[in-house]
Amino acid sequence: MSSMTDSPPRESFRLSQLIYDTRYRSMTIQVLTLLLVCVGIYWLVDNLLANLASLGLQPNFGFLDSRAGYDIASSFGTWIMNYSSASDHLTAAFVGILNTLLVAFLGVILATILGVLAGVMRLSKNWLVSRLMAVYVEGFRNVPLLLWILLIYAVFSEGTPRPNDFRPGPDGTAAASMIWDTFAITNRGFYMPAPVWGANSGLLAGVFVASLVAAIFYRRYAKKLLFDTGRLLPMVWPMFVIALVPVVLFYFLLGRPVSLDYPVLAGFNFQGGIQVDNPLMALWLALSLYTGAFITEIVRAGILSVSKGQAEAAAALGIRPNRAMSLVILPQAMRVIIPPLTSQYLNLTKNSSLAIAVGYADVRATLGGITLNQTGRALECMLLLGLFYLALSLIISFLMNVFNNSMKLQER
């Protein structure tokens, strides 16, 4: 006679449980779906390889080691990679990648600044300010980005003076003049001073980085002190003092290790300094203004999602409106803003492929353009191009997810 404390016999597993038992059904469906997807991918790849073989083509990435044989306009990528027409196609691809990363990085920064400022002003009680921001948003959101790129490029190319217009005429005056004798805006590009690094310049750069870190730590300390004790310390001017005063002092103590090379009109163009070509300027401004219009509405929606009682409570405590916006409203709105903001950053990065319309040498123009046409390796070039944009998008998503987690509201 068995004891009453004995556990009941375990039910044996039956194949029917994979379908009718809720404990296994979801796993069964997922495994079958994964198998179907793998079979579909295998069929597509096998069919592609068979069709290429029938045409006498075999996937091969050896063309990346062959000589490129084409020039790329002077740019950030050519300077970093020391590119010339004798370089290989892989180097040309890296030039395009660096140029794409540059315009995407600059675009994200400027679009964010424009979007946050315009989003706050969109909610301004000043009728004129709010209406102007509404015109900006509706104007840029409802016109294709390609048209804005071409329009801004046309303004820079046709609406700015030629370098020869800066040359003094017979009466000693010129049709155009440099801004503060330092910057020049021409139909060939934007010219500005270039830093010349001398002895001890690395030490000065280290002081600059340390000063920025100290300013960030001061801001965090002031904010923590405010939240813990309610004591309000000034933030703006101390941060500027901490970030700039040590750099200025060391600049003179080290004997001015950094100087400037100013652009000078010589011959038919300006020489010296840094030249930012019109294609880069047009693409950067168009991407920033276009994406900034979408970010404006995202910021506005995030601010409106915060209860009005939060602003009223901040006002009741005597907090100024601008400080209430930065310390009370925006931190709570970030949980609404960040997810769609990530999508806008991804869109800006991928929209940079429109650079080919104005002749900017991004990765689409080098690897997916000239290299593709010269080698005839369309499949390989498009595959590499797609993998690059996929990797870049995943990196941006990962960084934004980390930022999103750090901005979560901390509950007591």
The predicted-structure confidence for 116-135, as pLDDT tens digits, reads as follows 999 989 988 888 999 999 99
Which residue in this structure is represented by tokens 């069709």? 51
Task: Indicate yes or no: pTM above 0.85.
Answer: no
And the tokens for 217?
Answer: 């730590």
Report yes or no: 366 and 96 within 8 Å, Cβ to Cβ: yes
The predicted-structure confidence for 245-284, as pLDDT tens digits, reads as follows 888 898 888 888 888 888 888 877 888 888 888 899 999 9
User: Alpha-carbon torsion 25, 31, 35, 41, what sign?
Assistant: positive
- pLDDT value, residue 196: 84
And the tokens for 405?
Answer: 């987690």
Nearest to 75 by CA among 60, 96, 59: 96
Give the integer Cα–Cα distance in Å for 170 and 400: 58
Give the integer Cα–Cα distance in Å for 273 and 188: 14
Report yes or no: 335 and 408 within 8 Å, Cβ to Cβ: yes
Tell me, what DSSP letter sits at residue 410? P
DSSP string, 247-306: HHHHHHHTT--EEEE--EEETTEEESSEEE-HHHHHHHHHHHHHHHHHHHHHHHHHHHTS
And the tokens for 119?
Answer: 């989003």
Report yes or no: 346 and 393 within 8 Å, Cβ to Cβ: yes
* Phi, psi values for residue 197, rounded to 5°: -85, 120
Kindly report the CA angle at 11 between 9 and 14, in degrees rounded to 5? 160
Nearest to 404 by CA among 323, 340, 344: 340
Share the mean pLDDT of the chain.
Answer: 85
Give the integer Cα–Cα distance in Å for 367 and 356: 12
The answer as to CATH 1.10.3720.10 being correct for domain 76-141+286-406 is yes
Report yes or no: 124 and 130 within 8 Å, Cβ to Cβ: yes
DSSP string, 27-94: HHHHHHHHHHHHHHHHHHHHHHHHHHHHTT-----GGGGSB------S-HHHHHHT--TTSBHHHHHH
Report yes or no: 352 and 341 within 8 Å, Cβ to Cβ: no
And the tokens for 206?
Answer: 């280290």
Give the integer Cα–Cα distance in Å for 282 and 87: 28
Report yes or no: 184 and 191 within 8 Å, Cβ to Cβ: yes
Nearest to 136 by CA among 305, 294, 8: 294
What tens-digit pLDDT sequence spans the chain (412 residues)?
Answer: 455 555 555 667 666 666 767 777 778 888 889 999 999 999 988 887 888 778 777 777 888 888 888 888 888 888 888 888 888 899 999 999 999 999 999 999 999 999 999 998 998 888 899 999 999 999 999 999 999 999 999 998 888 888 887 777 776 676 677 788 788 888 888 888 888 888 888 888 888 999 999 999 988 888 888 778 877 778 788 888 888 888 889 888 888 888 888 888 887 788 888 888 889 999 999 999 999 999 999 999 988 888 888 878 888 877 787 778 877 888 888 888 889 999 999 999 999 999 888 888 899 999 888 998 888 888 888 999 999 999 999 999 999 999 888 877 665 5
Report yes or no: 95 and 366 within 8 Å, Cβ to Cβ: yes
Helix and strand numbers, DSSP H then E, in the chain? 15, 7
Query: Who's near 269: CB < 8 A, 6+ residues apart?
Result: 163, 188
Report yes or no: 279 and 362 within 8 Å, Cβ to Cβ: no
Kindly report the CA angle at 81 between 77 and 87, in degrees rounded to 5? 110
